[in-house]
Structure 1
Amino acid sequence: MKRTFLKITVAVAGIMTAFTLSSCNDSDNNMMDLSSQRTIIFENVITPKDFVESGNFQGTGAVPVILPGQSVSVKFSAGKTQALMFATMYGASKDWFFASQQPGIKLFETNGKAITGDVSSSVLLWDNGTKDNMTGQVESKPIAQVPNVNASQLMKLNLDYNEMTSEFTLTITNTSGGTANETPFSPGVWAVSNYNGSQLLNNAPFFTPNALSNPEITDIAQMGSIGKMTAKLSANTGIITGLSPALVVIYRGDKNPIYELGKMDNGMGLKEIAQFGNVSKLQSSLQSLPGIKGIYVAGNAPVPPGNKIMTNFKADPGDKIAYVTMFGFSNDWFYANEVSIDATVKGELSSKTALFDSGTGVDQYPGAGNRQALFGGTPQSESMVISKVGNQYPVPAVQNVIKVTVN
């Protein structure tokens, strides 16, 4: 049955809790065990982060505020269900700030079509509740909308969208000039929450309406200072991913039967793993190849952070092992062993594992691309050779995402 592979499920965790991994040191990796029965384990060890992208913005003048008539733009990536949150001070106030409702500005219709054009109706004006609006004296009230002020008349928001890259550009224009609420905007912050396949990891970024404020948003609302919020966002921003069920092959010969670096995808089923986490086509195709001694599948569901999958396999002296699993929050990436591995070796194989681009789908920001399987999309087709994933995106190191062990 076809699965939308990135839907987070607890089934894998439940199945695997009966197993315990034993630690192994460097010497274990060089020890040979001639018994034929082995177990290979794939663990998702990535540390979840609340936000996939975040940043800040400011005016371009000597004083970095955004004055009436001035504009500033923010570029970011997102997929369906994700939203953009931002905050900036209403400068001519004691503790007011502009921001949208939680979890942020809606970016896609329910059918997956990007929202573009004027989205000024998304902006609201909030009272931080930490200073009296008249005297400026300290107070302690919940964050609430400012009454009788139409924020969309003071700030214009416009969205543009690049469908190929799934990248938005938000232009913020100060339109308060000549109104009763003319004001500069302070430097601001923005963020896009990570999505795990079923929900946003943070659906109330920056602040909680009708609750007391926090130090980070208070600094913005009272002083237009973004330092604390920027530091907090930075510490909680990063690419995360799920893993797909893993295909494991025991074989004889010098050529990895799953992929060949620098060559085009051969149509045997690697594309289906790299784009959708579906191992069935490659599993079937490999059965007809010479030198294949065994084909195994670890897991039958997505592998979220903190979970693991495993499979038993048989191997004899002279056999080799190869494996592959999808980098789930991508368009067409996969993890696989980079070098030839003796199938009778025990120990951790993570150092022998690398992240590859199958060359079959146009890349978008991992975890924020609307054509990714994570968002129910299909990658834009391309025909490139299989290559190692470079540094275009801040992807965590392999050992910080996947741990592969043979017992």
Structure 2
Amino acid sequence: MKRLVLGIAFLGLLGMSCSSDDDNSNENTTADGSFTVTIENIAPVNAFLKSGVFNTPAGDANPGPATPGKKYEFTIDAGRSQKLSFITMLAATNDAFFGPGNDGIALYDDNGNPISDDVTDQVYLWDAGTEVNEEPAVGPNTVTNQSGPNTGVVENGNVLLMSNVTNGEAFDFPEVNDIINVSVTYIEGTQFLISIEDLANATLSTSLGDRVAPLSPGVYVVHGGTNPLFTEGEPDLGQGVENIAEDGDVTNLGNYTADNTGVTYPASPGVWVVHNDGTKPLFTEGAVDYGNGVEAIAEDGNTALLGANVLSLEGVTKGAIFNTPVGSSSPGPILPGSSYAFTFDAQVGDHLSFVNMLAATNDVFFGTSDEGIALFDANGNAISGDLTNSIYLWDVGTEVNEEPAIGPNTVTNQLDSNTGIEENGTVILLNNTNDGFTYPAVNTLLKVTITAN
């Protein structure tokens, strides 16, 4: 199941609004038409922010297991709202693997500071529940003895802590920290070095004597939420954990995680305005932000300031906050699959403008052109249809951009509102920022439609 997590600060700010979605509209304008605008989030949902395969022990030239005394090392980028999870097989078994618990491993402390620490106490030995257990290194279908992959007796069980397993042959496994050591070392920025070491004395005491306990190649993910790769007490998800736990084969899980890795973009509440032809009430391309509240939306999804100022803006005849997803009873962002809708009256010659934040960024917002969209054609007919091609991604120029969903001052990772490095720039199209980051096209994130009622 794909999951999404939002920063606490961001969620709190998105709840800020004026008295209602459309309370700020000006009722004195004579209407020539009534319109409904729908802003739908159509962005893909990605289960993982980052992912990768680790398969070559440090110092080795080729992929293979980490035998006692060897380790896997890899670097990751992660923001404050993400955690680390991984899967690696305890070789010589049928389907045992090491990995963190359901929550993953936190990479920042409670104060938001990056950690450097031994995190082995957050790693457990799990039974995938897919193959009946035999004595490690002795049973005919353990990974070192089997005639081929996936040859053991099918168990049809659940993922359980090995200490809670009762099916198959009982075996007294050593403590986790007698076999494996996992450490996190902060490098700089949002980068960490992860080390997964098979300890030099990692052995299993079997009926045939002591046997080494290697670690297989594995897969890691940087994620939000819980249960990214498996859920304790439930069957394997069929995405590739079984292949690692039984055979040390990372192919399936590596492909699955790669296909489901990326930023999931919410969109914040915003403000819409109806305004006179030729006016630019919300911003001017190439000019410094007006200071009326667009910055607060672009940086924090906070509509309060712009909502309070809306009727004093140049050329505005009516306007309001939109902040409650369709079908919801409370304000909040629109996640993929949800939408905002608002209705208003307008006269021939009026234009529509709106702004709302591309969440997971520092100060990027969705918006029309600075002059807005004409609500009537040259013949005075009210427009209807898909407006998405007239919506753009803008950089408000008030905060230096960081990697979306990762940077410490992006909205889902910041410790408080308005905490990024001041940019003192101008409002420009996001495509013109040249900030080194990659952003999706508007039409892969939003679908905006207007209907003349």
Q: Report the TM-score when normalising by structure 1.
A: 0.79
The match for 2:176 among 151, 159, 176 is 151
Task: Note the C-alpha offset of 1:64.
Answer: 1.0
1:328-347 map, 5 Å: 328-338=359-369, 340-344=372-376, 345-347=383-385
Report the counterpart of residue 399 of structure 1 in structure 2: 443
Distance 1:58 1:262 in 2: 49
Query: 2:32 matched to 1:35?
Result: yes
Q: Is 1:185 aligned to residue 215 of structure 2? A: yes
Query: 1:403 Cα deviation (Å)?
Result: 1.6
Q: Structure 2 vs 1, CA of residues 8 and 288 (structure 1 numbering), >3 Å: closer, same or farther?
A: closer
- CA shift digits 1:326-385 (9 cap, x unpaired): 112322221111474212232211111122222323434434455444356334222133
2:379 aligns to what?
A: none
How far off is 1:273 after superposition? 0.4
Partner of 1:232: 256
Q: Please tell me the residue identity of whatever aligns with 1:51.
A: F
The residue type equivalent to 1:118 in the other structure is D
Q: TM-score, normalised by structure 2?
A: 0.72
Say whether 1:79 aligns with 2:85.
no
Equivalences for 1:287-302 in 2 at 5 Å? 287-300=311-324, 301-302=331-332
Amino acid at match of 2:373: I
Q: Equivalent pairs: percent with the same residue?
A: 25
Aligned to 1:95: 95
Deviations 1:295-347 (A, max 9, x none): 22223422233222222223222222211111123222211114742122322
Bigger shift: residues 148-157 or 341-350: 148-157
Deviation (angstroms), 1:276: 1.8
Q: Verify: 1:267 aligned to 2:268, yes or no.
A: no
Cα 1:113–1:403 change in 2 (3 A) is same
Q: Which moved more, 1:139-148 or 1:268-277?
A: 139-148
Contact 2:353 2:367 in 1 (8 A): yes
1:212-361 to 2 correspondences below 5 Å: 212-215=235-238, 216-254=240-278, 256-300=280-324, 301-302=331-332, 303-338=334-369, 340-344=372-376, 345-361=383-399
Q: 1:180 corresponds to which letter in structure 2? A: T
Q: Is the 8 A contact 1:239 1:395 kept in 2?
A: no
Partner of 2:430: 389
CA distance in 1, matches of 2:277, 2:197: 66
C-alpha distance in 2 between matches for 1:388 and 1:149: 58
RMSD, matched Cα? 3.2
In structure 1, C-alpha distance between the alignment counterparts of 2:266 and 2:235, rounded to whole Å: 35
Q: Which residue type is aligned with residue 73 of structure 1? A: F
Q: Deviations over 1:14-34 (max 9, x none)?
A: x99xxxxxxxxxxxxxxxxx9
1:45 to 42, 47, 63: 42
Q: CA deviation at 1:394?
A: 5.4
> What do residues 211-262 of structure 1 show as CA deviations (whole Å, max 9, x unaligned)?
4445411211222211111222233333223222221122235453322333
Distance 1:400 1:363, change over 3 A: same
Deviation at 1:87, TM superposition (A): 0.9
Decide which moves more: 321-330 or 136-145. Answer: 136-145
Please give the secondary structure, in 2, of the residue aligned with 1:374: coil
Secondary structure of residue in 2 paired with 1:245? strand
5+ long unaligned stretches in structure 1: 10-14, 17-33, 195-199
* Residue 139 of structure 2: aligned partner: 135
The 3 A distance-change label for structure 1 pair 58 and 385 is farther
- Structure 2: gaps (5+ residues): 1-7, 15-19, 22-30, 142-151, 164-171, 205-211, 325-330, 377-382
User: In the alignment, residue 152 of structure 1 is paired with which amino acid?
Assistant: N
Query: Residue 74 of structure 1: CA displacement?
Result: 2.6
Q: In structure 1, the residue corresponding to 2:366 is in which secondary structure?
A: strand
Change (3 A) 1:99 1:280: same
CA deviations over 1:61-110 (Å, ceiling 9, x no partner): 33313453344113132333x32111122334443322111121123344
Q: 1:208 to 1:319 in 2, by over 3 A?
A: closer
Structure (1 or 2) with the larger CA radius of gyration: 2
Aligned length: 374
SS of residue matched to 1:244: strand
CA change 1:52–1:294 in 2 (3 A) is: same
Partners of 2:186 and 2:364 in 1: how far apart?
24
